[in-house]
Amino acid sequence: MNHDEIIKLVEEFAAKNLDNHDGGHDWWHLCRVRNMAMYLVKTEGYGDPILVEISALLHDMGDSKFKKERDSDTGSLITFFLRSLGLEDKIIKEVVFINHNISFSKGKRPAEVSGEFMIVQDADRLDAIGAIGIARAFNYGGFRNNRIYDPDGNRPSTIAHFNEKLLKLKELMNTATGKRVAEERHEYLESFLKQFFREWDMAAK
């Protein structure tokens, strides 16, 4: 099987495994993360392109936000599928490692991970900030029926998620390109928050 045939089948497999995902974790999120990750391979000058592309397409499969628990099965499903495409076990193991550990909550430190891991993680995190990040956050908040903002802090809100996670991502970037892109998207988050509170405070008076 050649490269393009492999990627086409991985795309189909990834697209089939999006049941219960919200609009911020749909096929287009996978496309954006894949494309950003491939851009990082180019600009950073490291990372096995096929490993990065497959890992990006499969990074959200089995995500615990959309399943009762992150299937221990996700690893076996990915392994079984990638073996059927004739990929080497070494590549398959890394794709599964990235799938299991990419999430913010895992808090993996760069010393423990590969260049490909750092690239896919940066690409995923870049999609959580900037204009698209804001759109995704409010979409996910709506999906969970969270408040937009809760001044008393009694209920989960998307504005609270900015402090809990989104504003921290800039400092957590692994790659030089990721840091540069994150800088601009972070500023956009800050100007959004400034305007949000300007409007909120005016309405509160």
Contact status, residue 59 vs residue 120, Cβ threshold 8 Å: yes
DSSP letters for 113-174: S-HHHHHHHHHHHHTTSHHHHHHHHHHHHHHTT-BS--TT--S-BHHHHHHHTGGGGGGG--
β-partners of residue 147 are: 157
Q: Is 122 in the site for Ni ion (CB under 5 A)?
A: no
Closest distance of CB 129 from ligand ADP, Å: 8
- Token pair recorded at residue 152: 């008393």
**Which candidate, 18, 107, 89, places its Cα nearest to that of 59?**
18
Of 43-51, 131-139, 147-155, 176-184, which segment contacts ligand ADP by CB under 6 A?
131-139
Closest distance of CB 61 from ligand ADP, Å: 11
Could you tell me which residues come within 8 angstroms of residue 23 by beta carbon, excluding any fewer than 6 positions away? 136, 139, 143
The residue within the footprint of Ni ion, chosen from 53, 60, 116, 122 (CB under 5 A), is 60
Q: Is 191 helix (H, G, I), strand (E, B) or coil?
A: helix
The residue within the footprint of ligand ADP, chosen from 158, 174, 175, 177 (CB under 6 A), is 158
Q: Which residues of 51-72 are buried (b: 16+ CB within 10 A; e: fewer)?
A: bbbbbbbbbbbbbeebeeebee
Q: Is 136 in the site for ligand ADP (CB under 6 A)?
A: yes
Considering the complex, state which of residue 115 and residue 133 has its C-beta at the smaller distance from Ni ion. Answer: 133
Q: Is 124 in the site for Ni ion (CB under 5 A)?
A: yes
Considering the complex, state which of residue 29 and residue 186 has its C-beta at the smaller distance from Ni ion. Answer: 29
Of 57-65, 91-99, 138-146, 185-193, which segment contacts Ni ion by CB under 5 A?
57-65
Q: Which of residues 75-114 bind ligand ADP (CB under 6 A)?
A: 103-104
Contact status, residue 41 vs residue 49, Cβ threshold 8 Å: yes
Closest distance of CB 45 from Ni ion, Å: 24
Closest distance of CB 22 from ligand ADP, Å: 8
Closest distance of CB 157 from ligand ADP, Å: 8
Instruction: Please give the radius of gyration of the chain, using alpha carbons only, rounded to the nearest integer.
Output: 18
List of residues contacting Ni ion (CB under 5 A): 60, 124
